[in-house]
Amino acid sequence: MKSRVIRNLPIRRATTSIPKTAFATPVRAASSVSQRPNSDHVSFPGALKSAFTTQLSFEHPESYKALPTYRVVDQHGAVVDQSFQPDISDETVVKLYKDMLFISIMDLIMFDAQRQGRLSFYMVSAGEEAVSVGSSSVLDPEDPVYCQYREQGFFKERGMTTKEFMSQLFANKNDPGKGRNMPVHYGSKRLNIHTVSSPLATQIPQASGAGYALKMQKLQDPNSKAKVAVCFFGEGAASEGDFHAAMNIAATRSCPVIFICRNNGYAISTPTLDQYRGDGIASRGIGYGIDTIRIDGNDIWAVREAVKKAREMALQDGGKPILIECMTYRVSHHSTSDDSFAYRARVEVEDWKRRDNPITRLRKWMEAKGCWDETKEKEARDSLRKEILKGFSEAEKEKKPALRTMFEDVYEELTPDLKAQIKELRDMLDKYPDEYDFSEYDGGKESLKV
């Protein structure tokens, strides 16, 4: 590929004299761009491969066919990609199936728990379990991951325990977030998954930065493991400016990062028709110069095949970003604070549940393969339910994090102001013991001793 022009002379000097490294940074030189006489191609620096035309013709988005959706297994569980061979044992498939089942059962229990007032908030991921579980199953456990909030399956597949899930949901003293975050804002050092934050799309440029860091670290220590950054987001979040910034930076800096969009049709109440007018999110990837694919997000095999291939590609040629748009349907309400039947027909949802669901699709495939049946299904559901309820009641009984933790981690060390404020709070608790209930907090008010 021809390199792009840079107008200023000092720039050229500065960049061309950089010592050569193994790093594939294209050297940009002004001399490589000049308009040759009678050329049939544009040589403006902004677009080098564009041919001249005498046709006054605007490009109409609708004249392009929608990008196709890759699938391996259809909604009846039958293989449609004839080249497909399962790359994992039946036992591993069963494990992935159980991970999806775990999430869907936990969703029901926790949704009800919120309705009973035992939990402040919850978000289910019904209908989208294949995207998260499938992608997790083909990534390296050390690949750092940024989630939006509907990727519980990713945590589960990577090894999050029932106790860890419940500790976060109940914000008890075992919660790594130290009781600071709303429920479902999971994070894990052990699993290399960043803690979820509520502001949408902020994680996307951060993932680009993380990808660049991985590339630099591999360059500085060639013997280290090659890793990619992974970033999930919904189609609604893709309307944020951060999405645009992230795609563009990842492409220009050639960052090894896999962007996985869950296009489930809704952002709370907003249907995709009010979200965008282009061909979904995938069509945008091409505009940023990013290798892109659209897949059937209800097909765990398609997710696995696409993410596996994407990881390989992301590490090629010194690194590059990949965009995967997973088409799916948000079967559930947006969250426990939302009644989705206020803006969509109940029958539409019921149709999706019945007709096409990632869990039943994999189940059909497994049953056809002969590694799953009704008895195993019942047994699995019962034992998962028991396990979750046990974790639930244990987590609910645990103490809340120590009061002192509300002041910590703002800075690396407590500032003099924060120390004074800890003391001020402690004095209040001493003077007005009947106004505050701190009995549930680990160590009571003792943790506020400075």
Residues in contact with another protein by the rule CB under 8 A: 8, 10-11, 14-15, 17-19, 21, 23, 25, 144, 175-178, 180-181, 185, 187-189, 194-195, 197, 199, 202, 204-214, 216-217, 219-220, 229, 241-242, 244-246, 248-249, 252-253, 405, 409-412, 415-417
CA distance 260 to 294: 10
- Residues comprising the chain, all counted: 450
- Indicate the residue type of 261: C
At closest approach, how far in Å is the CB of 228 from another protein? 12
Residue 77: left (phi > 0), alpha (psi -120 to 50), or beta? left
Task: Check residue 200 and give left, alpha or beta (phi > 0: left; psi -120 to 50: alpha).
Answer: beta
Sign of CA dihedral 313, 197, 445, 167: negative
> Please, which residues have CB within 8 angstroms of residue 159's CB and are 6 or more apart in sequence?
141, 190, 191
Q: How far is the CB of 198 from another protein (least distance, A)?
A: 8
Nearer to another protein, 148 or 264 (CB): 148
Q: Distance between CA 401 and CA 166 in Å, rounded?
A: 14
* DSSP letter string, 117-173: TSSS-----TT-HHHHHHHHHHS-TTS-EE--S--HHHHHHHT--HHHHHHHHTT-T
Amino acid type, 18: I
Q: Kindly state the smallest distance separating residue 324's Cβ from another protein, in Å.
A: 19
CA distance 256 to 142: 14
- Shorter beta-carbon distance to another protein: residue 66 or 420: 420
CB closer to another protein, 176 vs 443: 176
The overall longest dimension of the chain from CA atoms, in Å, is: 88
**What is the enclosing helix (H) or strand (E) of 376?**
helix 374-397
How many other CB atoms are found less than 10 A from the CB of residue 403? 22
DSSP letter, residue 79: B
Quote the least distance from Cβ 430 to another protein, whole Å.
Answer: 20
Q: Whose Cβ is closer to another protein: residue 11's or residue 315's?
A: 11
How far is residue 352's CA from residue 331's CA, in Å, rounded to a whole number?
A: 7
* Residue 63 per-residue DSSP state: G
Structure tokens at 13: 């000097």
Nearer to another protein, 88 or 450 (CB): 450
Minimum distance from residue 408 beta carbon to another protein (Å): 8
| CA dist., res. 138 & res. 158, Å (int) | 10
Q: How far is the CB of 209 from another protein (least distance, A)?
A: 2
Q: Tell me whether residue 242 or residue 356 sits nearer to another protein (CB atom).
A: 242
* Nearest distance, CB of residue 115 and another protein, angstroms: 27
Nearer to another protein, 245 or 315 (CB): 245
Least Å from the CB of residue 229 to another protein: 8
Q: Is 395 helix (H, G, I), strand (E, B) or coil?
A: helix
Q: How far is the CB of 288 from another protein (least distance, A)?
A: 10
Q: At its nearest, how many Å lie between another protein and the CB of residue 187?
A: 5
